[in-house]
Amino acid sequence: MDDVILKVSNVGKDYVLGTVTGETLKDAVKRQANKKTGKLHNESFTALNDVSFEVKRGETLGIIGSNGAGKSTLLKLISRITSPTRGKICINGKVASLLEVGTGFHPELTGRENIYLNGSILGMTMKEIDSKIDSIIAFSECGRFIDTPVKRYSSGMYVKLAFSVAVHLDADILIMDEVLAVGDVKFQHKCLKKMREIATQENKTILYVSHNMGTVRRLCQRCIILDHGTLVFNGDTEEACDRYFGNESVKTEKFVDFSDYVRPGWLGREDVRLISAEYENEDSEITGTEELEIKLKWRVLKDVVKVGVRVEINDQEERAFATKVFYNLIEGAPGDTGESVIKLDLSQVKNGEYKTFYTVFAMEQFGEGADLDCVKGLDIVIHREEHEDSRLNWHNSAWGNIELM
């Protein structure tokens, strides 16, 4: 109990949409006038909603989520840059936030001066910096240039110097937002090693935000996933990564449920949501010339017309090699649900196990489609008995997965 170093309870944050920024007196007067007539100038946007979690001393916690999920907002709140609209954050210890490397670097100052400046901005005292300066300079690999103004540095050197200051911070909680996405591979590796060292040997807590699952896997013991401002997962890193990649859906060979599926971050719209998919065939494997029948259940969230579904067939490396498009499958008003059975003729696809994606799209002008939903679908297993002596044994890896007719 006593080693809980950070406790976030029911935290929420609202932002005002529109231009409250850079408002002139005239706008303010106008807004006051609008208030009387009951017309609201701006609406608010909830960036974070009811997020709660705890972090123990010495833990490394990964925070993952797609763009706009609220990761940066959460870090800003924890590092006290802005305050929460609701809820409370309790911290036991010193926090150092690295939402960006080289915060406060001044181009006119030399490397050494900037170490002192940046270090003190991040909360180090003069004495601490004095005692660590040699090690910082050594780590940064900028020894020869340390008394040159940083405006003459290459961007790589700049970043290396900045990161060196950061890893020498003597804080109980280190907050890092994507900062490792800098420097060359060798330096990144060095930073990662140093960070793991900090966490394990010096018993410090690290909150790490990244889209790079590789580094999250290597650094973090535990992860939380944010989705549209709410916390959707809190637990083991491997499981979190799987969920983030969308492998978590309840899935058998013939049926998949999409209701808990975390949609990919690039998806901008949610007009239609797929609920489930099921194979209508008796057997889950394709063994002959039969067509694959898929029953898709869907729910409409906004008025839509002329919405279709693409079934993209991928190989094991998740490279799409064939796609079947079904036009005008879905139509309806918000709240409508329905199901469609689609048929795939896979006779040209050779034996193998394939992954699929079901993408719902709306037709727009000039033949462009806007994707409304995208889920990982049921696997396709094709296993035909083909041993005619007159035909070649098919080698998928060399010839591809399709034999043209």
Partner 1 sequence: MDSKWQVEIDGKPKLWNFNLRELWQFRSLIWMLYKRNYSVQYKQTVLGPFWMIFGVVFNTGIFTLVFGYVGNMDSDGIPYFLFCLSGNIIWTLFASCFLGNTRVLMENAYLFGKVYFPRLAVPVANGLLNMMKCLIQLVVCAGVWAYYLIRGDVVFTGLPLLGMIPLLLLSSFMGTSLGMIISSLTVKYRDLGHVAGIGVQGLMYVSPVLYPVSQLSPILKRIVYLNPMSAFVEAFRYCLTGTGNIYWPGMVYGVVFSIVITMIGLILFGKTEKNFVDIV
Residue 34 carries which side chain, given as an amino acid letter? N
Nearest to partner 1 of 8, 220 (CB atom): 8
Q: Shortest distance, CB of residue 293 to partner 1, whole angstroms? A: 53
Nearest to partner 1 of 21, 393 (CB atom): 21
Nearest to partner 1 of 26, 186 (CB atom): 26
> Is the separation of the CB atoms in 236 and 223 below 8 Å?
yes
Contacts with 317 (C-beta within 8 Å, 6 or more apart), sequence order: none
CA 312 to CA 328: how far, in whole Å?
A: 17
Nearest to partner 1 of 105, 357 (CB atom): 105
Q: Shortest distance, CB of residue 127 to partner 1, whole angstroms? A: 8
Nearest to partner 1 of 145, 233 (CB atom): 145
Read off the tokens for 130: 């004095």
- Identify the CA nearest to 331 among candidates 398, 392, 254, 272: 272
Q: Shortest distance, CB of residue 345 to partner 1, whole angstroms? A: 55
* Furthest-apart CA atoms within the chain: distance in Å: 87
Nearest to partner 1 of 131, 323 (CB atom): 131
Q: Shortest distance, CB of residue 176 to partner 1, whole angstroms? A: 12
- Identify the CA nearest to 143 among candidates 112, 180, 185: 112
Contacts with 38 (C-beta within 8 Å, 6 or more apart), sequence order: none
**Contact residues for partner 1, defined by CB under 8 A:** 7, 15-16, 20-25, 28, 76-93, 95, 97, 99-100, 103-104, 106, 108-109, 113, 116-117, 120-126, 129, 149
- DSSP letters spanning 132-161: HHHHHHHHHT-GGGTTSBGGGS-HHHHHHH
Q: Shortest distance, CB of residue 79 to partner 1, whole angstroms? A: 5
Residue 82 carries which side chain, given as an amino acid letter? T
- Identify the CA nearest to 230 among candidates 88, 73, 90, 355: 73
Q: Shortest distance, CB of residue 342 to partner 1, whole angstroms? A: 47
